[in-house]
Amino acid sequence: MELFTKVDLPEPGFNIDYTQKLAFFGSCFADNIAAQFAMRKFQVLSNPFGTVYNPLSIERQLREIADGKIFGEVDVFQDARGPWHSWLAHSSLSAASREECIAKLNAAAEGAREFLKQAEVVFVTLGTSFVYYLKETGEAAANCHRQDPRLFERRMITVEEATQALENIVLDLRKINPESHIVFTVSPLRHMGDGAHGNNLSKATLMLAVEKAIAGMQAHANPLEYFPSYEIVMDELRDYRFYESDMIHLSKTAEEYIFERMVETYCDMTAYGNIARVEKFMKEANHRVSDMHSPAATTFAQKAIAQAENLEKSIPGLDLVAEIAKFRKILNNS
């Protein structure tokens, strides 16, 4: 008797290990999965312009990165409460002054461009097909910054509009780095503000667009791929115990499970074993030291440094410089 529906995982055209740089763009689910990789000391870039949910805004962000956009005064605005914002970016890039906001945008774009030039894999996570358009300009807003709702028109984009956005995302990513592998996924987090039916229509639009984009752009050395995050949650984690108390956001257990399924898909046995070794080290390294001046703290730090240096030597691409520095500080203070 089968009591568990297992989602078939894709056969990837590449493998992930510690020598590679991984970039993540899209919804908060992208941030959560990027954090899972970062916790295990992978080289990660996550949403340089902040969390973004719709395909059109992701498209715009990547176009500006690929084109070497230099942000200026016309790219920011001040709201009545004082802060300066950009319609292209999350409020985490907002600032008290116009100059600081512009500087944040340019730093984010430049850092992302340099990272993407070397990124072997880019994950693009799509959250919703609903887009807020500025009535004045027709521009899609990545974030509304709590502005007057009357400034916006909100509508669900069509499959054709979403497909075009995804194709442009691919073209811009390949403009930056022709050899990068691009993986689309649809966020399993439901947008229940649109109602259950509206959420399902929105997610279905994204899935159809991904399918069309993949089918239409396969004549490349690195074909587009799809990872079934949405399907894994809907079929493998359908129980509410895998959700937070709002019954919408995923629990940490669910996020870790999806990460494990990604590792199962994209990592070979060597990488899988290395991840387990790093997880064990990080768990021990994050142990709280109550008295940094005690002999026990000195012994603990010496052991941790030796373990870190051994891991770095045996796992190509692994960087534990921050952990080693932390434990050297304990030794210097003992």
Q: What is the 3-state secondary structure (H, E, C) of the chain?
A: CCCCCCCCCCCCCCCCCCCCEEEEEECHHHHHHHHHHHHCCCEEEECCCCCCCCHHHHHHHHHHHHCCCCCCHHHCEECCCCCEECCCCCHHHCECCHHHHHHHHHHHHHHHHHHHCCEEEEEEEECCCEEEEECCCCCEECCCCCCCHHHEEEEECCHHHHHHHHHHHHHHHHHHCCCCEEEEEECCCCCHHHHHHHHHHHHHHHHHHHHHHHHHCCCCCCCCEECCHHHHHHHHCCCHHHECCCCCCECHHHHHHHHHHHHHHHCCHHHHHHHHHHHHHHHHHCCCCCCCCCHHHHHHHHHHHHHHHHHHHHCCCCCCHHHHHHHHHHHHHC
**In contact, 88 and 105? CB cutoff 8 Å:** yes
- What's the pLDDT score for residue 333? 77
- What's the pLDDT score for residue 111? 98
Place of tokens 């510690």: 18
Angstrom distance (rounded) from CA 157 to CA 46: 25
- What's the pLDDT score for residue 244? 92
Angstrom distance (rounded) from CA 186 to CA 203: 7
Q: Which residues of 251-286 are buried (b: 16+ CB within 10 A; e: fewer)?
A: eeebbebbbebbbebbbeeebeebbebbeebeeebe
- What's the pLDDT score for residue 90? 97
Residue 253 predicted with pLDDT over 90: yes
Beta bridge partners of 23: 45, 122
What does the pLDDT look like over 62-83, one tens digit per residue?
A: 999 999 999 999 999 999 889 9
**In contact, 203 and 186? CB cutoff 8 Å:** yes
- What's the pLDDT score for residue 1? 63
- What's the pLDDT score for residue 133? 98
Assign 296 a pLDDT band (cuts: 50, 70, 90). confident
Assign 319 a pLDDT band (cuts: 50, 70, 90). very high
What does the pLDDT look like over 170-208, one tens digit per residue?
A: 999 999 999 999 999 999 999 999 999 999 999 999 999
Angstrom distance (rounded) from CA 259 to CA 245: 21
Does this model's pTM top 0.75? yes
Angstrom distance (rounded) from CA 65 to CA 15: 26
Average pLDDT, the chain: 94
Closest CA to 57 of 148, 117, 135, 125: 125
Closest CA to 25 of 5, 52, 60: 52
Residue 289 predicted with pLDDT over 80: no
Q: Return the ∠ at Cα 42 (arms to 49 and 241), rounded to 5°.
A: 80
